[in-house]
Amino acid sequence: MCGRYAATANPDELTLEFAVDEDRTADPTRSVLANPQSPAPGTPDHNMAPTKQAPVVLTRAPRGEEGGAPTCQLRLLTWGLVPSWSKDPKAGVRMINARAESVLEKPAYAKAAARRRCLVPARGWYEWQVSPTATDAKGKPLKQPFFTSRDDGASCAFAGLYEFWRDPAVVDSDDPDAWLTTFTILTTEAEPGLDRIHDRQPLVLEPGQWADWLDPELTDPGHVADLLRGGPPGRFTAYPVSRAVSSNRSNGPQLLDPLPESELRGVVDPMTGEIIGGTA
């Protein structure tokens, strides 16, 4: 699964990299958080967690303009997909990820996979490796966080789906609180090397796939299935980072710093399979 990632770019940087027509990150939006998000939505966040609002790229036609041309937009959406038929927004907590292998068939995702696809920009993602040799004070296997990013330094473009949920308790449909817009990140089997960290990884699309993935008129299941195969292996680099990232209160660029080898215990090198740090 993908349960944490780093979204370190500003909206103006994402607008350029993803050829966005409209930056809508300043639009009023509904949040599911009880307290103000920190860091603020739309600013660099080195520890993006579920239920936060995150920048997402999608293509939509202008609301209320029949026949209007779709535009590529950057918006703030809540991480954790809430299907339109849900009774309340609580479903989103359980739907932060969707398996790429089954989204075209599962009722919760099929309609979104056909017409509401999006890109989730990220510097990279975190995943926790279970040590085969080292244990904690309670005798449980240690979990070592890793950070994975593109080798070429470009942003990762996670394949995502988005949905609109209408709150029946809000009478005025023009009230921003009437609508909650949410997204999920698609995952696939981890490629060789990364599978030594975790058996799943986000589905990362290549720039040549972005236009088709974002096209709401591209609904052919066969073509969508081709896109769900993702890109070639060997595009990523991964390294251990501080366990501070395990707390969703931790943030800042220091979370991306490689952890010195002297601080590793029973960590498996993703590229070689060598165990680093023993069991002590």
How crowded is the C-beta side of 142, counted as CA atoms within 13 Å? 22
Show Cβ contacts of residue 194 under 8 Å, excluding neighbours closer than 6 positions. Answer: 148, 201, 236, 238, 270
- Whole-number pLDDT of residue 65: 57
Contact between residue 192 and residue 184 where contact means Cβ atoms under 8 Å apart: no
Burial class, 36, CB count within 10 angstroms (exposed 0-12 / middle 13-18 / buried 19+) = exposed
Residues 182 and 160 sit within 8 Å (Cβ to Cβ): no
DSSP state of 249: T
Asked if residue 240 lies in contact with residue 261, where contact means CB atoms within 8 angstroms, the answer is: no
Please give the structure tokens belonging to residue 119.
């890109």
The pLDDT value given to residue 118: 98
Q: Give the pLDDT of residue 28.
A: 94
Which CATH number is associated with domain 4-130+152-234?
Answer: 3.90.1680.10
pLDDT score recorded for residue 45: 98
pLDDT in tens, 195-208: 999 999 999 999 99
Burial degree of 77 (CB within 10 A; 0-12, 13-18, 19+): buried
Give the chain's length.
Answer: 280
Spatial contact of 131 and 265, defined as CB atoms under 8 Å apart: yes
Cβ 237 vs Cβ 151: under 8 Å: yes
pLDDT of residue 231: 84
Burial 134-166 (b: 16+ CB within 10 A, else e): beeeeeeebebbbbbbbeeeebbbbbbbbbebe
pLDDT of residue 66: 59
> Residue 202 forms beta bridges with which residues?
187
Compute the distance between CA of residue 54 and CA of residue 33 in angstroms, rounded to an integer: 13
Half-sphere exposure in the Cβ direction for 129 (13 Å, CA): 30
What pLDDT was estimated at residue 139?
92
Contact 234, 209 (CB under 8 A): no
Residue ranges of the chain with per-residue pLDDT less than 50: none
What is the rounded distance in angstroms from the CA atom of residue 94 to the CA atom of residue 50? 9
Domain locations in the chain as residue ranges: 4-130+152-234
Query: Cα-atom radius of gyration of the chain, to the nearest Å?
Result: 19
The predicted structure's pLDDT at residue 13: 97
Per-residue pLDDT of 80-106, as tens digits, reads: 999 999 988 888 788 999 999 999 999
Q: Nearest CA to 119 among 153, 85, 162, 87?
A: 162
How far is Cα 158 from Cα 160, in angstroms, rounded to an integer? 6
